[in-house]
Structure 1
Amino acid sequence: MSAAPRERFDAAGRRVLLVCVAGGFTTLLDQSVLNTSIPALREGLHAQPAHLQWIVAGYSLAFGLALIPGGRLGDVKGRKWFFVTGLALFTLVSVVSATATDPGVLIAARLLQGAGAGLVNSQMIGTLQDVFDGQLRARALGLYAVTGGLAFALGPPVGGAVLAAVGPEQGWRLTFLLNVPFGLATVALAVRHLPRPRPSARHADLDLVGLLLVGALTLALMLPFVQPPAWTGWLAFAAVAALLLGGLVWWQRRYARRGGHPLIHPALTRSAPYALGTATAMAQFGSSLAAGLVLTMFLQDGLGLSPMGAALVALPSAVAMGVASALAWRVVRRFGRRTVTAAMTGSALVMLTSGLVAHWAPAAVLPWLLALLQLLGGASVGLMGATNQAYVLRHAPAEAAGVSGAILQMAQRIAAAVGVSALSGVYLRATAGGGGHRSAYLYASLVCAALAGLAVLASVGAGRATPQETPGDASGSEAVSRGRTAVR
């Protein structure tokens, strides 16, 4: 059976797509660039480990807190000016981050940057779902997902190049300033080209109680990983999170019975593919981001590589991710949703092998072996990132486009805060305990591989919950087709 002819974006659609992709790239590149700068930042500000955890994971905390309120506001009030406001805040505070002379100032700036980035990204998926339909929507969402993945992969090489060019003392500051020209240009494009504010929801109630409960639940889940407490604190946070989750479920049902429109659309809570696909994205994102951060720490602190040397080891991941992303729709056309499971399995194996190789291989060849493994890992993430997101969002109703995308991203941000904080803690504690950097990297890699294994299990479950998606299903393959012709 021949495939349906591929649609093309018109001029207005290409401009909207450019704005969304540029906004996503600018805000998501920020954190991955920072990973390479952590050792230089630590020396420049005389930052303590607790400061570093807040600087890195606090961004994800604020990002996650802003996502669902931002998505709901966009659904009800329209998206354009929330997009512009969030990106303007992110860009302005980037200057504050670059000029900070105290760890506390940088932590506060990172929290504000994260809030701005969360507000921006919560509008993007909703905007793409509002503007495009059918094949064009799938390709636009796929391109957005791929851009985010490439931003994370390109961050370490970009950060390494900046530090090599101007030196570590000023280099870490310049990595924050990289956001400014991109942010200003994107704000100008957004003001001109994003569609006028147009609510996508058919109702105007914000469900403020639901928003407060979701925000408190997000904080209870993420805060202990950003600032780890004593064991009694962990129990307290777990109890609070359980109470908030129960309260949210109760309130959403009560609000719906009273005739309101709950924050979390009932179609999302009833959809096993949406829930399991979100769990897959969550475990993949957390394990990948944590693995990238720990690798950068190991290459610089353990092997003594320069920031540029560490960046070159990570560069093959970005290249492979870009190539694999461009070919993903062809693979999905042949193998269907199993592509996600197979690619995630490959990613888990790469993380496991990286730890073993780092523990046993001679130092002279270790950077080359790790670069090869980064190539394989990048290809795996490229095949599954946009694919999984497109499958997940196919199960979201149009009136909850902003919230459905925000929940997906919030889950990833929770995973990022948990993964980065926990895995950096595993690595630092192992090195402080006298086990050496190689053993520390092995332990951290084993944990990352276990998290990726959870993503594999969730992906298998999602595939079983959607048996109608076969390898030859055109809708499935188009769900990740980004179309090189789309942006001509």
Structure 2
Amino acid sequence: MDAEEMSQDRTDDRARWRALYVASILSGFLLLGIGDANVALPAIADALHIGPTSLQLVSAGYVVTFGLTLVPFGRLGDQGHRRRLIFIGLSVYVVSSLVCGLAADWRTLIAGRVLLGVSAGILMPQTIGVIQQLFSGAERGRAFADYGVMTAIATALGPSVGGLLVTLGGQAQGWRWIFLMNVPIGVALFAAGLRYLPRTQPVAATANRSLDPFGAVLLGVTVLLVLYPLVLTTGLPGDSAARWYTLLPAAVFGVLFWRWERRYARRGSLPLLDGDLLRTRSYRIAMLVAASWLATGPAVSLVLMLYLQLALGLSPVLAALVLLPSAAASAFGARWAARRVLLRGRVITLTGLFMSAGGILVSALAANLLPPHPAIAVITVAQVLNGVGNGMVISPNHVLLLIDVPKEKGGLAASIGHLTQRIGNSLGVAATSAAFYAVIYGQAGGLTNARRSTYDSALTAGVVTAGIFFVLAVWASVVDLLRMRRARAVPPSAALATPLK
């Protein structure tokens, strides 16, 4: 190789890593927007005089449309339109953020949040698709290490940033800052994308094939009916039991969708869901681990945030600061673990699960056994352990999710993974918050008459409920660990004869 070729290789290598950083920052930007907006809901309710149902729609509008758009746009990105979709998604995100930030009434705000969800659903599959497209082997582990740092920081910082902006801007206007700050950041990412994101050509095998519009409708209806009762669950006595009735038609539409996809594939067309992808065992298990853990960690953070405010009297921003150490710790855990996951596999995620569980358990014990000030101190320190463990789960699991997925299916694989994570997260938050409030209203009849002992019991109930999902994540990780060890024990000749799925 001559000097000119070596120089070109170094240039191409730098270009790939710059594209990775743009994709990672974009993904972190989207995740930050989920956490910070939820903290602002009480301020939004006061400023726009929104009732409980409409306030739920401010949050639900984003979550539902995000889930609805993930899979179709993941498939579209894999057909060679990834770069174009990123610019379309960023444009919609900036405009809808401006609509939310300047909203004069709750109807405009909900419309803006719905558009935000659509744009996030367009963008999120493309960020992981870029990494899947540009990196492979050990390099992909290093790439996901950097990606995991950004997503871990953004996930942990969301509540703190939201609380800080509401505090700085005031109760009446601070919530607008959360949306308006998206505008300059989105414009900067658009400019960076124009310069650094790679151009992609349509994939020959899929470029001229239908996107399966009828399958997209069936999947969309199924997702809508599943998410609807979850995102409208607050745990308060006013929740209507009738919302759960949507799960019956959801099951019907889910079966219809599955049958349609199989029939569509038999006709030689390209289905929305890839059968080979769903039959890949490493992919299925990683999806289950991610969905179970996102039903655990964020749900516990929510009830812990509520406990710090309701039981210990902290302001929203101070409560967020107590949980802030998990952000830096999560970034450290993510970077350390993702660079070693190809050597250690599921041992790393299992270790992370138990470390994070240890931090949660210490926090719950401190809340129940210590006076307020010592309890706050111990909970703050325990968040370091929780954060390191969280990073050791999420970032390596991204690598294991896509380790057996072909590059040309990276966007679809990421979108299905994110969809299951959103459903898992919504289920965990709904179940945990319901358990938390059920104890408060069962023992004290409401928030006004509740004492600290009541809140202690409520926190314990929430943590125990989240623990059910934790057990599921551990079980899936152990199953995958045993699978990997059996695969290593197979002689090379047998492994070549029987590909691992």
Q: How high is the TM-score relative to the length of structure 1? A: 0.88
Q: Is the 8 A contact 2:68 2:224 kept in 1?
A: yes
Correspondence for 1:441 among 459, 463, 468: 459
Correspondence for 1:158 among 152, 157, 161: 161
Q: Give the superposition deviation at 1:233.
A: 4.4
Count of residue correspondences: 464
Equivalences for residues 202-281 of structure 1 within 5 A: 202-203=205-206, 204-228=209-233, 230-234=240-244, 236-281=245-290
2:468 maps to 450
1:169 aligns with 2:172: yes
1:4 maps to none
Q: Give the superposition deviation at 1:399.
A: 2.7
SS at match of 1:466: helix
SS at match of 2:324: helix
The alignment's C-alpha RMSD in Å is 2.5
Q: Is the 8 A contact 1:348 1:453 kept in 2?
A: no
SS at match of 2:478: helix
Distance 1:101 1:302 in 2: 34
1:355 maps to 364
1:66 maps to 69
Q: Is the 8 A contact 1:77 1:198 kept in 2?
A: yes
Q: Give the gaps of 5 or more residues in structure 2.
A: 1-8, 234-238, 445-449, 490-501
Correspondence for 2:135 among 126, 132, 137: 132
Q: Give the superposition deviation at 1:97.
A: 1.7
Q: Give the superposition deviation at 1:432.
A: 4.0
Distance 1:151-1:391 versus aligned 2 partners, 3 A rule:
same
SS at match of 2:349: helix
Equivalences for residues 403-414 of structure 1 within 5 A: 403-414=412-423
Q: Is the 8 A contact 2:40 2:175 kept in 1?
A: yes
Equivalences for residues 87-486 of structure 1 within 5 A: 87-200=90-203, 202-203=205-206, 204-228=209-233, 230-234=240-244, 236-329=245-338, 332=341, 335-433=344-442, 434=444, 436-467=454-485
Q: Give the superposition deviation at 1:77.
A: 4.5
SS at match of 1:47: coil
SS at match of 1:114: helix
Percent identity of the aligned residues?
36
Q: Give the gaps of 5 or more residues in structure 1.
A: 1-6, 472-488
Distance 1:425-1:102 versus aligned 2 partners, 3 A rule:
farther
Distance 1:201-1:35 versus aligned 2 partners, 3 A rule:
farther
Distance 2:395 2:204 in 1: 25
Distance 1:45-1:443 versus aligned 2 partners, 3 A rule:
farther
Moved more, 224-233 or 265-274: 224-233
Distance 1:295 1:100 in 2: 31
Q: Is the 8 A contact 2:307 2:459 kept in 1?
A: yes
Q: Which residue identity lines up with residue 271 of structure 2 in the other structure?
A: P
Larger radius of gyration: 2
Q: Is the 8 A contact 1:57 1:417 kept in 2?
A: no
Q: Choose between structure 1 and 2 for higher RCO, CA contacts under 8 A separated by at least 6 residues.
A: 1
Distance 1:329-1:123 versus aligned 2 partners, 3 A rule:
closer
2:27 maps to 24
Q: Is the 8 A contact 2:148 2:334 kept in 1?
A: no
1:81 maps to 84
Distance 2:342 2:134 in 1: 25
Q: Which residue identity lines up with residue 182 of structure 2 in the other structure?
A: N
